[in-house]
Structure 1
């Protein structure tokens, strides 16, 4: 598609179509809250991990070759700066955090989108040598092209007009059944406009995340949702469906909206499992604990204690002594301290003698990432 404008309007799905079925199926997403059997603190560590995955996936769409495993290592080492590839991923993570904190309070307008853009290009070298932008937060003052795309974004003089139209479209009061369709259309339209000199893809995917939060999909109050994972799983497919929508036809937009909503549906079905204690324990925690023993991050006694914590969720010293009967209580206390020092056990807030398993800042994270890959949550090519 050339620079020719296509009217920005809601897409009406045909009754009985795949898109209509997806709209109905996804309505329950609004009601999805932290109500499963997984310990809430552990659930929110999973949420933080999914923010990592989202950030790496979004950067990889733009050609960043950092793998999830490489990024995880930088988090475990807690280095403030590594290189620009890692900085790019950390910027996306910071953008998601900013959305969590601000999306419900502020409207999505020029100031909002400018803040997102400034965040994603922060501390990055501008093109052609890096993924930053010479004018962070400011609309482009020059024409641009999209590598590998037929579509040529509109002239820079038209960007402000098209973005104002997009903001009006996003804020219009519409029936709830059209909310997800609007989000899909808005994502495409933002990409079609390409309002910034660089960083449009990363900013546009954060915009999608913000729209989901504002529309009632409150991912920061009890949901794990990796909303743009649909775009990150297969970069070529993502661009292929964007190109279909670029055609400006009914069928092209129908294919695009179906692609986005189907991806969200698949994500939700996977995520729902993570609220169930038995699934998390059997398929994620125990494999990660076994991996830690294999890699000698823990000794056999620590391995046993972590297994108890995984199965019971909250433990105290007495629970350990029931299993390790020959272990003196002072040794139990020493083992608990060692695991706390390794950040594999944490005190339950307000209960100094009760502990839970923790992985987000410990070597257990390596095993959790591998387990998530084995369960299909992470594309193996991103590892």
Structure 2
């Protein structure tokens, strides 16, 4: 029987002031980012960030699904190539689950609870093609079925790490929840808890497959509840772009204690500190990256340059720029205002509006609803380079 103490320490014990400074910096810059973008434009950015999270989270797992294939999957336009179609469906599953989290349609439970974590796994895996629901035991060659939402029923080895025995998973997941639940952690320390929880969930490795993506979606849900608005930036982008360091610090936090100066738990206190520090700094870097490309004046300048180029090339109608500017500056515009804004007659104004909607440059919740700025793949490199 494995003791709960084998998972300790559950919080970093050293350099608390240094981590507290990172929390203050993250909270401040995330608040600043959210405050500079019109609320309805944030919805468009959120749609883009969901695709970014999906792309980079899958990339960490070695699945390189192209952004255009992801966009097509969301429109149910699947490739005739079996492998590409499988990856498209995997990407769509990830985006749909995150969309439920972002819109408050997720399970009404704390993200650190094993009920919530199983819910994420269930919702993700039940959307996957059958061939992605089988994994091979590397020792025996046996095929193991991945049951959506169910903890694994066999013991596993992950690289050099031997996770918790299957028959003790619920005990460890209950402890995990009792430590990292939102109402158990002071608000000022919650981002630290999110970072530590990310590692310890991967250390427990509760599922036969899908643990990495589930852990990143759980971190996303926890970050949303922390007040740093992670719908505007992608932690997975930062983890993927530093994947070597990500894997190194994960392994470092897996390590056993290195003597009397490395904490009092079974696991390395310095390893956990280094992972938490890396995770928080990665969050800050991603917020600052999005802040740099979403500078209001610069973004409007790039939208204007793009629209003028497209109008000159006869790929957009004259008057389109006025609608794009209005959608950006005010957050949304009523369909009936299109003619006045473009300076054309009613019918022509509606045609230009329809053209922008067809291209995904403007989007709405329905045929009569107001429209807001969209961020289709075709324009992302022009509007949001990097």
Q: Which moved more, 1:341-350 or 1:61-70?
A: 341-350
Structure 2: unaligned runs, 5 residues or longer: 137-142, 256-266
Q: Report the TM-score when normalising by structure 2.
A: 0.77
TM-score, structure 1 normalization: 0.77
Deviation per CA, 1:12-44, whole angstroms, max 9, x where unpaired? 342664x343123223367568432x4432221
Contact 2:307 2:321 in 1 (8 A): no
> 1:138-179: per-residue Cα shift (whole Å, max 9, x none)?
111112222xx3222222223222212111111262333321
- Asked whether the 8 Å contact 1:72–1:366 carries over to 2, the reply is no
Measure, in 1, the Cα distance between the counterparts of 2:151 and 2:368: 51
1:306-352 deviations in Å (ceiling 9; x for gaps): 6655776556433433xxxxx77764554344444545446899999
Q: 1:52 to 1:318 in 2, by over 3 A?
A: same
Superposed, which structure 2 residues align to 1:141-180 within 5 Å? Answer: 141-146=153-158, 149-171=159-181, 173-180=184-191
Other-structure match for 1:185: 196
> What pairs with 1:323-334 in structure 2 (closer than 5 Å)?
331-334=348-351
**Separation in 1 of the partners of 2:364 and 2:93?**
30
Matches for 1:96-111 after TM superposition, within 5 Å: 96-100=98-102, 101-102=104-105, 105-108=108-111, 109-111=113-115
Separation in 2 of the partners of 1:213 and 1:347? 24
| 1:72 is aligned to 2:71 | yes
| Equivalent pair of 2:78/2:88 in contact (CA under 8 Å) | no
Between the aligned partners of 2:342 and 2:101, the Cα distance in structure 1 is: 41
CA distance in 2, matches of 1:67, 1:266: 24
Cα 1:250–1:308 shift into 2, 3 Å: closer
The equivalent of 2:254 in structure 1 is 246
Deviation at 1:266, TM superposition (A): 1.2
1:127 to 131, 134, 139: 134
Query: Counterpart of 1:135 in 2: which secondary structure?
Result: coil
1:286 maps to 2:304: yes
Change over 3 Å in CA distance of 1:63–1:275 after alignment to 2: closer
Kindly report which structure 2 residues correspond to 1:154-303, keeping only aligned pairs within 5 A, or say none.
154-171=164-181, 173-219=184-230, 224-247=232-255, 248-273=267-292, 276-283=295-302, 285-286=303-304, 288-289=306-307, 292=310, 298-299=315-316, 301=318
CA 356–150 in structure 1, closer or farther in 2 if over 3 Å, else same: same
Cα-Cα RMSD: 3.7
